[in-house]
Structure 1
């Protein structure tokens, strides 16, 4: 029997990746709620199984965990609504603080450049008019975006319920794609996928809790205004790998500048955020999530930006668990093994340029142990 040339196989793989990306871009409004529901349903499985063991009817065993998620989301929405109310109440003071900071910045620019205050004000006015025009043109699309968010949120509980209710049908569908000889590997991949997703998502919930307590509590003790709001915003944005922490720092600085006429609180906020983030990245999070999501930093960042370009914030949030699931599949599929190696973070102990054995599809020594190459 004629075998397919290697170049043809690689071309088919690349075309498949392009087709997959096209499907995600075109159908993101349908696919993203399904993916989000899938990951949440995996996280709710332990509660569902516990209730089933206690002889709770299946429908209630599914509805109760979904209600817990709804209560959790409702508490977050209530908190932000309350904090926004506080910001609105403090708006006159915030406006005075921002005006003072702008005047100080204007004086500093006048001292180091040839632009005087009048020219700076004219420049700011022009840019403000541009922003207003842009905002007017985007106002029409805002309602569509808002309605899309409500549809997204409304579909989630329905999808979660149906996925938990029909999980056995979905599992049988997966097994029927493969020959019986491959079913042990499929079963192993399913268990590992469930373990990684639960470990990752539950770890993120724990991370939100302790980062809010640590960051918000320390800033509150120091006397920073809106300390708890800064802590919650940074903790939630930190769920988006790499990019979220940067945005959280910027928002923390802006909130601090708006609530104070001095610069020392800004330096304090940045210092506390850096300290808490160092503690989180190097001590707490590795012990909570462990090293199960073994994705190298390069493809973690690429995954975040690609997910963001395809599906916005939800795509950035789901990027790492999706890439981790893909790596599990690639590692257990002979034809896609090289993609699993590419996504992983275990480097060969020696260069494949000088040691031919490190170029082959077999177990090879790595700098951290044994890697399935």
Structure 2
């Protein structure tokens, strides 16, 4: 078989393999999620390994179950935070009267009209009450909310399947940590085996630190927002703070989404208290709290966590996330840092002949 034939066969094999991955993409996603959980859970596995009962270490299968139990407790706690907020929101929205909301917004509308007229700007749209009420009425339709809740319930079975599949795969990745390495080694030429061992070792070390750093960041943002919102008497401050912390994982636009979420939920819960009375004050308090937390997160926690976890300069991280966002949107921004870390690790082992590679991987 000549070189040309081997190249054609290799190309066809790659295409067929990619097509196969597309058809089993759900399983691929489950495996990736499991690999991430296994990386995050590895420090717990090591911690549980230090525990001895009657002079014997805890077996690996039991340690894996203990780590999975920790993850499940976390998910149950998350669900317990989410359920009352959804129930409260649905109940409030179903009882909202458009007229009441409009009366609450009337002072703001009047101020906006006065501002526009002062500078001879068009204000006719703000004077058309029917046109303003129509989208608000549509937004607050209970039927739409019911459909939304029905959609959530409709995906419940898929969520159960995903949780079971990810838990099953994660268990074996935790219990038998050699599975991934053996898969990679089986595809690695013998002459590159030592380099590949270093790649896997460094990848596990840095990615574990990165994902643990993300958990620390979520905890910091959640704690600060919870304290700040609680000071101003906002209901469900812990839940709002937690989900704002989750959204914060999306670089740049995540904080905007989280801030909008926090503001809308806070104002929605405030409807019960009298929308017209303290809406502006509450909005200022929520936004002020969120801006203060974001400043602390961006100036202090993020540079420390990301720079130390993946050993990259903050400017380097900023450029990587920006490029990834341009290419892959939100998903690209989320996976940018771990993917870039993997690329740097591989490049350090196999592309050291290039000066730019040596400069980018000096700290690794």
Check whether TM > 0.5. Answer: yes
CA positional deviation for 1:284? 2.3
Aligned residue pairs, count = 331
Post-superposition Cα deviations, 1:172-206, rounded to whole Å, max 9, x if no partner, equal: 23223333442232122112111122111111222
CA positional deviation for 1:171? 1.4
Tell me the residue number matched to 1:361.
354
CA positional deviation for 1:128? 5.7
In structure 2, distance between residues paired with 1:99 and 1:254: 16
In structure 2, distance between residues paired with 1:364 and 1:167: 30
In structure 1, distance between residues paired with 2:282 and 2:241: 14
RMSD: 4.2
Tell me the residue number matched to 1:208.
218
Tell me the residue number matched to 1:124.
135
Post-superposition Cα deviations, 1:292-342, rounded to whole Å, max 9, x if no partner, equal: 433532432454576667xx7xx86545323432332244333xx8xxxxx
Post-superposition Cα deviations, 1:191-250, rounded to whole Å, max 9, x if no partner, equal: 211112211111122222222111110221133344333211211111222232111011
Tell me the residue number matched to 2:295.
278
Q: Given the alignment, which residue of 9, 27, 31 partners 1:30?
A: 27
CA positional deviation for 1:38? 0.2
In the alignment, is residue 41 of structure 1 matched against residue 35 of structure 2?
A: no
CA contact (8 A) 1:226 1:255 kept: no
TM-score, normalising length: structure 2: 0.73
In structure 1, distance between residues paired with 2:25 and 2:101: 39
Tell me the residue number matched to 1:343.
none
More divergent stretch after superposition (187-196 vs 216-225): 216-225
In structure 2, distance between residues paired with 1:255 and 1:47: 35
CA positional deviation for 1:144? 5.7
Where does structure 2 lack aligned partners over 5 or more consecutive residues?
Answer: 117-122
In structure 2, distance between residues paired with 1:91 and 1:140: 16
Q: Given the alignment, which residue of 221, 224, 232 partners 2:234?
A: 224
CA positional deviation for 1:118? 4.3
RCO higher in 1 or 2 (8 Å CA, sep ≥ 6)? 2
In structure 1, distance between residues paired with 2:199 and 2:155: 37
- Are residues 123 and 23 of structure 1, via their aligned partners in 2, closer, same or farther at CA, if it must alter by over 3 Å? farther
- Are residues 26 and 263 of structure 1, via their aligned partners in 2, closer, same or farther at CA, if it must alter by over 3 Å? farther
CA contact (8 A) 2:38 2:170 kept: yes
In structure 1, distance between residues paired with 2:292 and 2:136: 39
In the alignment, is residue 242 of structure 1 matched against residue 252 of structure 2?
A: yes
